Amino acid sequence: MRGDEDIPVPSRELNVSFGYQSSTHSPSSSIIVTNEFDFSSRVMIQNSNMKMKSSSSFSCLSGAALSANATLANTNICNGLIGEEILPTLDSPKSFRRMASSPSFSRLDFVSSSSQCDMTTLGGTVSTENDFVETERNFWKSMSAHNGIESSSFLNAMDVQMAGGAAGEDRVQAVCSEENGWLFCGIYDGFNGRDAADFLAGTLYENIGFYLHSLEWRTKKQHDSCENSALEDVTIRNTIFPAIEPNASNSEQEGTLLAESLDGEFAYGNFHCGVMDCLRRALAQAESDFMYMVEQEMEDRPDLVSVGSCVLVGLLYRNEFYVLNLGDSRAVLGTNDTQEDGVVKAIQLTETHAVDNEMECRKILADHPEDPSPIINGRVKGKLKLTRAFGVGYLKKSKMNDVLMGILRVRNLCSPPYVYTHPFTMSHRVTENDQFIILGSDGLFDFFSNDEVVQLVHHFIQCNPFGDPAKHLVEQLVLRAADKAGFSTEELMKIPAGRRRKYHDDVTVIVINLGYEQWTSTASTSL
């Protein structure tokens, strides 16, 4: 590995770079703390006192990204209803900013017309999911109309820090609340345009908050009326979590938790499964809303039917890390193995939904027995390497494929959908051996293995306790991409976005430092 003096300084191309240091020092107890956030000489969030209701399991977060794709300045899907009023406030921050967070009901009217939209891409959940969404929408409309309630959900704290931005077709969000001890991160790796990633950046966080709010309200309501009864506990399970088809890789884990209904762990297991269910439902709602909007616009903008995005969401609440992924972005845990002399090893927390994954490939073939060529030249119908993704309606619905012309149209779309929207979800209990979690779009893993990114971050943190590990990963990627192309780093970075896509993809990285060690990351101020 090269020395630090050889690392390029492509800060002018780092479209997203931010840092955050948690002021939580103790794993328990309520304390009064003073927050200071000074990420650069030009950016400071004013000091404030707040009472810690609960502690978080992370001490620092950093994020960085590098553009490779050239995109339109603002495509504004559906005549600007999404994007214009949301995304410019998130683009390319220098650091986290403090903002008030409260539930928003305005979007419920906006998406209500999509509740009857065909949801065949979700598989097996059409009537149940639509009925549930409509019931939720009517309930919250009536509640907000009467008293304008504020959410009790931990995700909708009254005082949060937020950062986010855009790099090429990638979008990234990070929101945290020291008051309630949680951290939300989202990476949306768009392709064939930025519209799907824009839509996710503008809606998914709010969707998750909506479902978590509902989960907590109904959990408390059922708890009040069904206390101390095993039979009533089963009723809570069936009422709070109506059946939604989980992917096979999750069912055994969740079944084990639900089987604990007769012991003291049931309440935790219920909430634990409920959070993952909320993540799935929020994504299902976003997919339904987006596909409905695309259908309204596709005659004027047929390109929208090919636009899609990968989805990677991490939610750290106290010492539980929940993850949802759709596509080929990854979450990788760096943890000490006490049986191997404290060596930091890499554990991938996500699935890879691509044709290169043999299990995914077999599923495509099994689901389309009447189609002689569901996979052509290593791509689904010769078009897409991903087997699961948000959007890409032309591989999910015949009527969306039909609006495309010439070679853009998929021939012999026999039995759609060919690309699925079933996400992978799981949770991980954070232990004292866990050091950090790396979230990254696939552009990072085009150049580094899981073990390599973990070792790079581990070594960097050891040598630079006040440095920015996410930015370090991006800089190391620039070194490797330049070497592979036979350029110097300076020559590579001078290639404009669009042409540079030949040498690397858009790259977005978030590093969450777990535990309570006090190191901080410094955000880039040159964008």
pLDDT reported for residue 178: 77
CA pair distance 279, 425, nearest whole angstrom: 8
3-state secondary structure 97-144: EEECCCCCCHHHHHHHHHHHCCCHHHCCCHHHHHHHHHHHHHHHHHHH
506 and 443 Cβ atoms separated by less than 8 Å: yes
Give the H or E element holding residue 512. strand 507-514
Task: Locate 508 and state its tokens.
Answer: 């977005």
Instruction: Give this prediction's pTM.
Output: 0.79
Secondary structure letter of residue 421 according to DSSP: -
* Pick from 233, 230, 244: nearest CA to 281: 244
With H, G, I as helix, E, B as strand and everything else as coil, classify residue 44: strand
Write the DSSP string, 310-362: EEEEEEEETTEEEEEEESS-EEEEEEEEGGGTTEEEEEE-S---BTTSHHHHH
With H, G, I as helix, E, B as strand and everything else as coil, classify residue 235: helix
CA pair distance 186, 181, nearest whole angstrom: 17
457 and 436 Cβ atoms separated by less than 8 Å: yes
Other C-beta atoms closer than 10 Å to the C-beta of 519 total 14
One pLDDT digit (tens) per residue for the chain, 527 residues: 444 444 444 444 555 677 777 664 433 322 222 222 222 222 222 222 223 334 567 888 899 999 898 876 445 554 444 444 444 455 445 567 766 554 443 344 444 444 444 433 333 333 344 444 454 444 444 433 333 334 456 776 667 888 888 888 999 989 888 778 889 999 999 999 888 998 998 889 989 998 998 888 777 777 666 665 555 555 555 544 444 444 444 433 433 333 333 344 445 567 889 999 999 999 999 999 999 999 998 998 899 999 999 999 999 998 899 999 999 999 999 999 766 666 899 999 999 999 999 999 999 999 999 999 999 999 999 999 999 999 999 999 999 999 999 899 999 999 999 999 999 999 999 998 999 999 999 999 999 999 999 999 999 999 998 888 999 999 999 999 999 999 999 999 999 989 999 999 999 999 999 975 444 333 332 22
